[in-house]
């Protein structure tokens, strides 16, 4: 892999990107790689270098790149038109499939991105309760809106529940509308909910926060305390929807919220996301039902477009087949166990955390399991960056923090990854010994 040099063509593309794009990238990954194509669980860059792909477009490609059934469905629809700004049969069918699959979903409203879905799901809760404040969890990611970019990754965490903006350009007044709680700490969270219950419009949570699973009972207790005080509970399932199970984290963990946001998998690699939830809350998207004062205005040029809808439907049909989730979980479990064992035998302090469809290694001396964002601050980020670089040089593509596992990953991909881990860990040990 690392014997193939970067081609002049790819170097020229990178140079152009540095001229026309801020930081030379789309804002997702560093711009030092340009991907040309993907098939199954593999991608190739513009220099022809091949990678086992655990990035999966940041998660949408759960059935693999260019799956023949998804591709055929999209191509057939493209020939008939790409978007209409009006209802189409495929978007209606996808909404029906989501309602059938997702426990909290009685109705669905489509948007184009996960950030939009998270913004609107919070707005829907505000419209329903006629309150303003939203409680989120420190380190929780809910897209790119002003409200969501509060205490996502504060470099100097302050005193909870005070929110800290994570981006320039956010009005200072926004912080007063958000309360921040520690993930997996139900006592602290319940205390905040009870203290602010008269002002809280909702509690929003990633049921599986980035790569941190909920501790046993946390989500159920969170459901109980929000129900006790009549506060809508929102699950951000942009990542976990149709990934941990066909019914998402709601099915996987057995806890049903009032609303959820969905994205990634439901668009089959095309721009599509959704808000789903109880009909009485979703009614605020219907002016005829709630009147002018309660109406939640939402318009999107590509919302529910038929190309994304048919790709999503095709992906869901594949995932519904017997054994699909068993395979994803078995692949992920094998990988997690293997990586944990290799690091332990090498004497490198680390924790492999997550769930089989989505996990990563955290290089840390922390002896207790990582439970929240502040535990994650113990991570040795320099070692993690070096390990990721070593893996990419050995033909493994992943994000800064996440191995996404797909239905397309094969036993050969697993073996290739395990061999790459062996080689990268040996190099990491040598570098540590050299000081």
| Per-residue model confidence (pLDDT) at position 3 | 67
Catalytic residue list contains 141: yes
pLDDT per residue rounded down to tens, the chain (435 residues): 456 899 999 999 999 999 999 999 999 999 999 999 999 999 999 999 999 999 999 999 999 999 999 999 999 999 999 999 999 999 999 999 999 999 999 999 999 999 999 999 999 999 999 999 999 999 999 999 999 999 999 888 888 999 999 999 999 899 999 999 999 999 999 999 999 999 999 999 999 999 999 999 999 999 999 999 999 999 999 999 999 999 999 999 999 999 999 999 999 999 999 999 999 999 999 999 999 999 999 999 999 999 999 999 999 999 999 999 999 999 999 999 999 999 999 999 999 999 999 999 999 999 999 999 999 999 999 999 999 999 999 999 999 989 999 999 999 999 999 999 999 999 999 998 887
Domains of the chain: 1-66 (3.90.1150.10), 68-319 (3.40.640.10), 325-405+421-435 (3.90.1150.10)
Q: For the chain, give the number of residues.
A: 435
Residue 252 annotated to the active site: no
Q: Name the token pair of 303.
A: 């919302």
DSSP type of residue 145: S
By C-alpha distance, which of 342, 340, 404 is closest to 210?
404
Is residue 342 within 8 A of residue 228, CB to CB? The reply is: no
Does an H or E element contain 70, and which? helix 68-78
DSSP letter assigned to residue 207:
S
pLDDT of residue 366: 94
Catalytic residue among 136, 264, 342, 398: 264
Give the C-alpha separation, 400 to 381, whole Å. Answer: 10
Q: What predicted TM-score, i.e. pTM, was given to this entire model?
A: 0.96
For CA atoms 141, 147, 152, 157, the dihedral sign is negative
Helix axes of 89-101 and 306-319: crossing angle, nearest 10 degrees? 40
Active site residue 375: no
Q: Are strands 273-277 and 107-111 parallel, antiparallel or unpaired?
A: antiparallel
Which residue among the candidates 45, 53, 118, 236 is catalytic per the annotation?
236
Which pLDDT score is estimated for 2? 52
Catalytic residue (one of 51, 120, 141, 325): 141
183-212: burial string, b at 16+ Cβ within 10 Å, e else = bbbbeebbebbeebeeebbbbbbbbbbbbb
């Amino acid at each position: 892999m690392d014997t193939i040099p970067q081609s002049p063509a790819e170097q020229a593309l990178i140079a152009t990107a540095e001229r026309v794009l801020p930081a030379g990238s789309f804002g997702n990954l560093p711009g030092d790689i340009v991907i040309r194509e993907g098939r199954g669980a593999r991608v190739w860059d513009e220099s022809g270098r091949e990678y086992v792909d655990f990035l999966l477009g940041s998660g949408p490609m759960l059935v693999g790149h260019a799956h023949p059934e998804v591709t055929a469905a999209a191509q057939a629809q493209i020939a008939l038109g790409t978007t209409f700004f009006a209802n189409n049969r495929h978007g209606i069918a996808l909404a029906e499939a989501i309602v059938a699959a997702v426990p909290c979903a009685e109705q669905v409203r489509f948007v184009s991105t996960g950030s939009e879905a998270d913004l609107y799901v919070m707005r829907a809760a505000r419209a329903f309760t006629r309150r303003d404040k939203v409680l989120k969890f420190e380190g929780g990611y809910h897209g790119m809106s002003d409200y969501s970019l509060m205490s996502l990754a504060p470099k100097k965490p302050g005193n909870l529940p005070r929110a800290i903006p994570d981006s320039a350009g956010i009005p200072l007044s926004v912080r007063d509308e958000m309360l921040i709680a520690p993930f997996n700490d139900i006592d602290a969270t319940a205390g905040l909910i009870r203290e602010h219950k008269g002002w809280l419009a909702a509690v929003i949570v990633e049921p599986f926060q980035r790569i941190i699973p909920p501790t046993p009972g946390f989500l159920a207790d969170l459901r109980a305390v929000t129900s006790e005080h009549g506060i809508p509970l929102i699950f951000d399932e942009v990542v976990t929807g149709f990934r941990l199970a066909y019914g998402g984290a709601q099915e996987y963990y057995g806890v049903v919220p009032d609303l959820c946001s969905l994205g990634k998998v439901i668009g089959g690699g095309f721009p599509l996301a959704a808000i789903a939830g109880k009909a009485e809350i979703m009614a605020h998207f219907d002016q005829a039902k709630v009147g002018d004062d309660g109406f939640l205005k939402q318009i999107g040029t590509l919302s529910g477009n038929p190309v994304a809808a048919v790709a999503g439907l095709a992906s869901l049909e594949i995932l519904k087949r017997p054994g699909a989730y068993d395979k994803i979980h078995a692949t992920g479990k094998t990988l997690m166990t293997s990586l944990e064992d290799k690091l332990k035998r090498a004497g490198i302090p680390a924790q492999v955390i997550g769930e089989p469809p989505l996990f990563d290694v955290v290089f840390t001396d922390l002896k207790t399991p990582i439970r929240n964002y502040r535990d994650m601050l113990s991570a040795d980020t320099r070692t993690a960056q070096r390990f990721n670089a070593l893996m990419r040089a050995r033909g493994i593509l992943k994000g800064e923090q996440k191995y996404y596992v797909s239905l397309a990953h094969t036993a050969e991909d697993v073996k290739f990854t395990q061999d790459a881990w062996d080689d990268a860990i040996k190099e990491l040990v040598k570098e540590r010994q050299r000081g």
